[in-house]
């Protein structure tokens, strides 16, 4: 059966990779991307010439159309702490307001998919974190606009499922990196790579012993693809999606340094309430998505990401020089 799909945040880093996957679907009739280009960019989908795709520049929380959709995938939200901490109200609107508004565009019986986050676990007191862990979030802390709006949107969707049988799919994404992250995104991998390629100084907050589990975007999108659009799956979420190889921030910075001769690490003040660790328990993901695994090592993924940025930065510098 032909399907109409809406993706909010489809011009973003993750969203644009998901758009590429959606366009491989034979059952996809129309794909509407709703994006306000806050952290996303038209460039991320500029390579697409598929007539099924249309882009609407709009906020997810106010977008209107007479069309109703078989599937809605709500990704619209900044994911970088630098960006969401700068505009907390807008972050909350994008997540919760976006979900509330987009729900009204779902056709009866349609499916609503949502990208939640490992941030719902806060600064976790257990490792690895299973979906059943209720987390350790400071609801008035500096990360709360993001953490709490993701948590509240999860609540909204699971409660709608309970009272009205809404078909929901909710993933909790762990740290994801790869090509198409903004140069000024501010998250660790893209920051370190861009710093190595420009100033040569990599800024590590604190001593760098805080850890994350770094997932390469292709692996993460593989997981999303399996979970979001396989009709045979009956589990609705939440489902951890990520790479479970936990590596310190210092370890990542050192690896990026090894790619550029002469680059070095500089330690900066720790970020308030920076989570000390983060690692997905993937037991449930392996049951729900048999065969799926995040297989790209951080060494391989960072090398690929590095090449992508290197080409972009060289092109940018050449055009600035000739301007």
Which residues are designated catalytic?
146
Residue whose tokens read 């998250």: 187
Among 7, 94, 166, 204, binds ligand UDP (CB under 6 A): 204
Of all residues in this chain, which one has the CB nearest to ligand UDP in the complex?
Answer: 187
Minimum CB–partner distance for residue 255 and ligand UDP (Å): 13
Residue 180 interacts with ligand UDP (CB under 6 A)?
no
Rounded to whole angstroms, how far apart are CA atoms 257 and 195?
10
| Residues in region 62-101 near ligand UDP by CB under 6 A | 80-81
Tally of CB atoms within 10 A around 206: 15
Residue 240 interacts with ligand UDP (CB under 6 A)?
no
As a whole number of Å, the end-to-end CA separation of the chain is 51
Residue 187 interacts with ligand UDP (CB under 6 A)?
yes
Residue 210 interacts with ligand UDP (CB under 6 A)?
yes
Minimum CB–partner distance for residue 249 and ligand UDP (Å): 4
Closest C-alpha to 76, from 121, 40, 22 = 40
Rounded to whole angstroms, how far apart are CA atoms 109 and 117?
25
| Residues in region 148-177 near ligand UDP by CB under 6 A | 175
Residue 198 interacts with ligand UDP (CB under 6 A)?
no
Among 48, 265, 271, 284, binds ligand UDP (CB under 6 A): 271
**Dihedral sign computed on CA atoms, order 268, 199, 183, 227:** negative
Minimum CB–partner distance for residue 122 and ligand UDP (Å): 11
Minimum CB–partner distance for residue 272 and ligand UDP (Å): 10
3-state class of 32 per DSSP? Answer: strand
Residue 203 interacts with ligand UDP (CB under 6 A)?
yes
Stretch that binds ligand UDP, among 14-22, 53-61, 160-168, 201-209 (CB under 6 A): 201-209
Among 274, 284, 303, 310, binds ligand UDP (CB under 6 A): 274
Look up residue 313 and give its DSSP letter: H
Rounded to whole angstroms, how far apart are CA atoms 7 and 31?
7
Residue 205 interacts with ligand UDP (CB under 6 A)?
yes
Produce one character per residue of 254-284: b if its CB has 16 or more CB atoms within 10 Å, e if not: bbbbebbeebebeeeeeeeeebebbbbbbeb
Among 188, 194, 196, 220, binds ligand UDP (CB under 6 A): 188
Tally of CB atoms within 10 A around 174: 27
3-state class of 67 per DSSP? Answer: coil
Beta-carbon contacts of 249 under 8 Å, excluding residues fewer than 6 positions away, are: 188, 204, 205, 208, 209, 210, 211, 212
Nearer to ligand UDP, 52 or 205 (CB): 205
Stretch that binds ligand UDP, among 62-70, 96-104, 164-172, 187-195 (CB under 6 A): 187-195
Minimum CB–partner distance for residue 80 and ligand UDP (Å): 6
The partner residues of 205 in beta bridges, in order of sequence, read 268
Residue 254 interacts with ligand UDP (CB under 6 A)?
no
Bridge-based pairing of strands 3-8 and 69-74 is: parallel
Nearer to ligand UDP, 163 or 269 (CB): 269
Minimum CB–partner distance for residue 93 and ligand UDP (Å): 20
Per the CB < 8 A criterion, the answer to whether 96 and 77 are in contact is no
- What is the contact surface with ligand UDP in residues (CB under 6 A)? 80-81, 175, 187-188, 191, 203-205, 210, 212, 249, 271, 274
């Amino acid at each position: 059966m032909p399907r109409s799909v809406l993706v909010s945040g489809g011009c973003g880093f993750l969203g644009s990779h998901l758009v590429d996957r959606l366009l491989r679907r034979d059952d996809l009739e129309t794909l509407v991307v709703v994006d306000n280009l806050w952290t996303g960019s038209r460039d991320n989908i500029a390579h697409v010439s598929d007539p099924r795709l249309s882009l609407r520049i709009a906020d997810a929380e106010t977008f209107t159309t007479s069309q109703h959709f078989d599937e809605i995938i709500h990704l619209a939200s900044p994911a970088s702490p630098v960006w969401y901490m700068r505009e907390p109200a807008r972050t909350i609107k994008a997540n919760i307001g976006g979900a509330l508004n987009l729900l009204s565009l779902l056709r009866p019986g349609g499916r609503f998919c949502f990208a939640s986050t490992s941030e719902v676990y806060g600064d976790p007191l257990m490792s690895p974190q299973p979906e059943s862990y209720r987390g350790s979030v400071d609801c008035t802390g500096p990360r709360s606009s993001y953490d709490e709006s993701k948590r509240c949107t999860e609540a909204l969707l699971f409660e709608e499922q309970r009272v009205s049988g809404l078909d929901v799919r909710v993933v909790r994404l762990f740290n994801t990196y790869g090509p198409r992250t903004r140069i000024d995104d501010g998250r660790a991998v893209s920051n370190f790579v861009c710093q190595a390629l420009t100033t040569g100084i990599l800024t590590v907050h604190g001593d760098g012993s805080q850890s994350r589990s770094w997932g390469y975007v292709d692996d993460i999108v593989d997981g999303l693809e399996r979970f979001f659009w396989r009709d045979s799956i009956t589990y609705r979420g939440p489902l951890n999606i990520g790479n479970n190889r936990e590596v310190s921030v210092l370890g990542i910075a050192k690896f990026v340094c090894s790619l550029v001769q002469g680059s070095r690490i500089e330690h900066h003040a720790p970020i308030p309430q920076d989570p000390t660790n983060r690692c997905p328990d993937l037991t449930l993901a392996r049951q729900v998505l048999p065969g799926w695994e995040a297989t790209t090592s951080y060494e391989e993924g960072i090398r690929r990401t590095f090449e992508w940025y290197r080409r972009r930065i060289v092109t940018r510098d050449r055009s600035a020089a000739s301007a």
